[in-house]
Amino acid sequence: MTDLTYLPDRTALEAAGLGVEHRRGWALRDCSFRIPAGRICALVGPNGAGKSTLLSLAAGLRRPTTGALHVFGGARPSDRAARPRIGYVAQDKPLYPHLTVGETLRVGEELNPATWDWATAERIVAAGDLPPAARIGSLSGGQRTRVALALALGKRPELLLLDEPLSDLDPLVRHEMTAELMSAAAEHATTVVMASHVLAELDGVCDYLLLVADGRIRLAGEVEDLLSVHSLVMGRHEAEGLPREFTGHTVVESRVTGRQITALLRTDGPVAGEWEVAEPSLEELLLAHLRSPDAPPLLTPGAEPRMNVPAPKEAV
Ligand SMILES: Nc1ncnc2c1ncn2[C@@H]1O[C@H](COP(=O)(O)OP(=O)(O)OP(=O)(O)O)[C@@H](O)[C@H]1O
């Protein structure tokens, strides 16, 4: 293990005033956030929230309409020097169907001569019992995903962008791939940004979170910090409306079942009264925010961008 793991002062990905307009409207609007190097960041949000758009910008495949997105503390993702340092696995995992598994890995080596890690790429492919002579076109969806992840991790990128990488993998392979991602982050300080809808599987894997809804950042920061400022509060529901003890806290979501009220509060100090109070799990935090898109956004101090925000309408 190197001493590069967890680098709070180094920035892997940073956006300020970022917006992307498609023909049908804005996919991302006024997004500002920062992801420090060495983190495993979950990128979560409803269908159509803008996750894939954000990842394709970070991969340098498109330009913002407004604002800026920088990698590695100041470079544009499309810069010649930045591109080899970024790995990207798109949602549809494009590979050449007529190539074999072995040929695909050799292309990986040719494209990334300086960093290619044969041991990692071969280990991932071999763990799936994929013969090097098998054609990509003859593989199942999950097997193709394994090859795409072997290519991406074999490149040894500093920033690895994964668009729903686990969705077509069986539970054992998900475990195995999650372990590969965690070990890349721990041993090589790889920053992983992973779009996912599988909330239960993010807990314990991701230490950083970006929640996007309707093209805007709703939550950003260290998972630990975000959890610690929220409380799951349960108790008797005595009267109409919200209990007066909730005043002074931000109510993200509240639900009444019979005479019981359960609420997720963004707390500013202890909640007065007779309440059962617990820290939410990551899944509970995410579900409450996904159900309450109007809750005020929250960026922890470490997630505030450090770059200058460009003037409105200016894309950098
Ligand atoms: N090439 C495009 N042309 C026009 N609109 C687009 C294009 N790509 C994405 N959009 C729109 O931008 C918005 C964000 O799409 P995006 O694919 O980034 O969402 P997502 O969060 O990745 O969704 P999902 O979870 O369903 O994959 C959507 O409203 C989508 O219809």
Domain annotation covers residue 308: no
Domain check: are 137 and 244 in the same one? no
Residue 57 per-residue DSSP state = H
Which pLDDT score is estimated for 134? 95
Which residue in the block uniquely carries the two structure tokens 């807990």? 203
Domain check: are 215 and 229 in the same one? no
Angle at Cα 266 formed by Cα 8 and Cα 197, nearest 5°? 65
Token readout for 279 is 């820290």
Pairing of strands 66-71, 86-89: unpaired
Tens-digit pLDDT profile for residues 188-211: 889 999 999 888 878 889 999 999
Domain boundary among 167, 194, 223: 223
Q: How far apart are CA 256 and CA 247, in angstroms?
A: 17
Query: What confidence tier does 123 reach under pLDDT thresholds 50, 70, 90?
Result: very high
Q: Is 280 left (phi over 0), alpha (psi -120 to 50) or beta?
A: beta
Tens-digit pLDDT profile for residues 155-188: 999 999 999 988 888 989 999 989 988 888 888 8
Atom of ligand 1 nearest to the CA of 164: 27
Domain boundary among 223, 244, 270: 223
Which pLDDT score is estimated for 201? 79
Cβ burial, residue 287 (10 Å; 0-12/13-18/19+): middle
Query: What is the sign, positive or negative, of the torsion defined by CA atoms of 38, 215, 166, 122?
Result: negative
Domain check: are 41 and 109 in the same one? yes
Candidate from 29, 51, 55 with most ligand 1 atoms within 8 A of CB, to mutate: 51
Number of domains in the chain: 2
Domain check: are 233 and 98 in the same one? no
The model's pTM: 0.92
Domain check: are 208 and 240 in the same one? no
Domain annotation covers residue 4: no
User: Which residue CA neighbors atom 12 of ligand 1 most closely?
Assistant: 27
Domain check: are 165 and 237 in the same one? no
CA of residue 48 to ligand 1 center, whole Å: 5
Average pLDDT, the chain: 91
- Domain of residue 109 covers 11-223
User: Which residue CA neighbors atom 16 of ligand 1 most closely?
Assistant: 50
Domain annotation covers residue 169: yes
User: Which residue CA neighbors atom 17 of ligand 1 most closely?
Assistant: 52
- Beta carbon of 31 within 6 Å of any ligand 1 atom: no
Q: How far apart are CA 155 and CA 149, in angstroms?
A: 10
> Domain containing 41 — which CATH number?
3.40.50.300
- Beta carbon of 16 within 6 Å of any ligand 1 atom: no
- Beta carbon of 198 within 6 Å of any ligand 1 atom: no
Domain check: are 139 and 27 in the same one? yes
Domain annotation covers residue 301: no
Which pLDDT score is estimated for 2? 39
Q: How far apart are CA 9 and CA 45, in angstroms?
A: 27
Domain check: are 32 and 180 in the same one? yes
- Beta carbon of 48 within 6 Å of any ligand 1 atom: yes
Domain annotation covers residue 201: yes
Domain check: are 203 and 275 in the same one? no
- Beta carbon of 49 within 6 Å of any ligand 1 atom: yes
Which pLDDT score is estimated for 5? 53
- Beta carbon of 23 within 6 Å of any ligand 1 atom: yes
Q: How far apart are CA 20 and CA 164, in angstroms?
A: 21
User: Which residue CA neighbors atom 31 of ligand 1 most closely?
Assistant: 48
Tens-digit pLDDT profile for residues 44-71: 999 999 999 999 999 999 999 999 999 9
Domain annotation covers residue 302: no
Domain check: are 246 and 215 in the same one? no
Domain annotation covers residue 37: yes
- Beta carbon of 47 within 6 Å of any ligand 1 atom: yes
User: Which residue CA neighbors atom 28 of ligand 1 most closely?
Assistant: 48
Domain annotation covers residue 38: yes
Percent over 90 (pLDDT), the chain: 73
Domain boundary among 190, 205, 223: 223
Domain check: are 99 and 78 in the same one? yes
Q: How far apart are CA 259 and CA 269, in angstroms?
A: 25
Domain check: are 58 and 196 in the same one? yes
